[in-house]
Every structure is written in structure tokens, then in C-alpha cells.
Amino acid sequence: MFLSALFVSSQVNTDRVMTIGKNALYFEDYVLAIQYFNQVIGAKPYLADPYYFRAMSKFMLDDFKGAEEDANLCIERNPYYTSAYQLRGAARQNQEKYELAATDYQRSLEFFPEDRLTLVNMAIVNVELKHYDVAEKFFEVLLRRFPDYVPGYLTRGQMHLERKDTLKALADYDKAIEIDPYTA
């Protein structure tokens, strides 16, 4: 009877622990969140979610290598976890692995071709790779779909400055100010 009581007390309610971990993540207690996600991984290593949220926590702590590794583990368990491709792409982008980041963003766009954040990140990665024509195409798609998206104009303006095209940069900055004069 004692052994059965011991066994019951050692079980982990993974749904509850995941919820507590997500709450810790929401309140920006990333180290605590990682500890909770580690518990879920220890109990159910086949789940994709705890790896994703642990990757998110590591990303927020600027542990981009760890975030990339956990996003890999998430994708191994669920190759349709779109957010994991976005997160891994951002982690790779922060490590200056631009080609790999572009691959992840492209995979994410296969699932959601009009995702605003992925489109802007894909454009930024192509600017970093000096693939300005490709970046311009992503900016065109982004701003055609989201014509009031100020960060799109600001980022494209920065690309034009890099290309020494001050007139186009100024036009983008003017458009951003016209849309939102308080944050542009």
C-alpha cells in the first residue's frame, strides 16, 4: 500500500505544470518557466509543446543556440508546428545564420503565406544576405497585404538607405509618419 501511495505522489500532472510554465513565461520569469517545461519534458518527452515553450523562454533570455536546439526538438516531434519554424528562424537570425533562418521562414510561409511577422523577417534576412531584389519582393507582398504596417515601411526604408537610395528611403519614412506620426 505504501508503494502505491509513493507512486501516485510522484506522478506529474503535465497539463497543470504546462499551464504554470506558460504563466511564468507570461510574467517574464523565464528561468522558472524553463524549470516547469523541464518537468513536463521529463514526464512526457514525446510532446512538442514543452520544447517549443522552453525554446521561447531561452530565446527571451538571449540563449539563441538553446532556443534553436529546442525548436529543433519540437519540430522533430511535430513537423507542422509553424510557430517553431518562426522561432527557430528568429533564433538563427540572431546568430547570423541567415540562410538557415530564410529556410525556416520559407517553411513557415508555406503554412501561412500572409503572416506579417514572417514576411518582414524574411525581408530582413534577405537584406542581411544582400539579396535586395528578393527582399523587395517580400516587402511588396507585405505592404500590399498590410498597407498600414508601419514597421514594414521603416524596415524597407532602412534597406533603401543601405542601397544608398535616399529618395525611396525618404518616401517610405514619410509614408510611415503619415500612417502613424507618434510611433514612426
113-184: same fold as 12-105? yes
Condensed to tens digits (0 to 9), the pLDDT of residues 41-68 reads 999 999 999 999 999 999 999 999 999 9
- Domain spanning 12-105, CATH architecture: Alpha Horseshoe (1.25)
Distance between CA atoms of residues 154 and 157, nearest Å: 5
Task: Kindly list the distances between the CA atom of residue 115 and the CA atoms of 2, 52, 129, 159, 161, in Å, as whole numbers in the listed order.
Answer: 54, 19, 21, 20, 25
- Is this model's pTM higher than 0.75 or not? yes
Condensed to tens digits (0 to 9), the pLDDT of residues 105-135 reads 999 999 999 999 999 999 999 999 999 999 9
Which element (helix H / strand E) includes 119? helix 116-128
Distance between CA atoms of residues 141 and 78, nearest Å: 28
Rounded to the nearest 10°, the torsion over CA 131, 161, 150, 56 is 50
Span 113-184: which CATH code?
Answer: 1.25.40.10
Domain chopping of the chain, boundaries: 12-105, 113-184
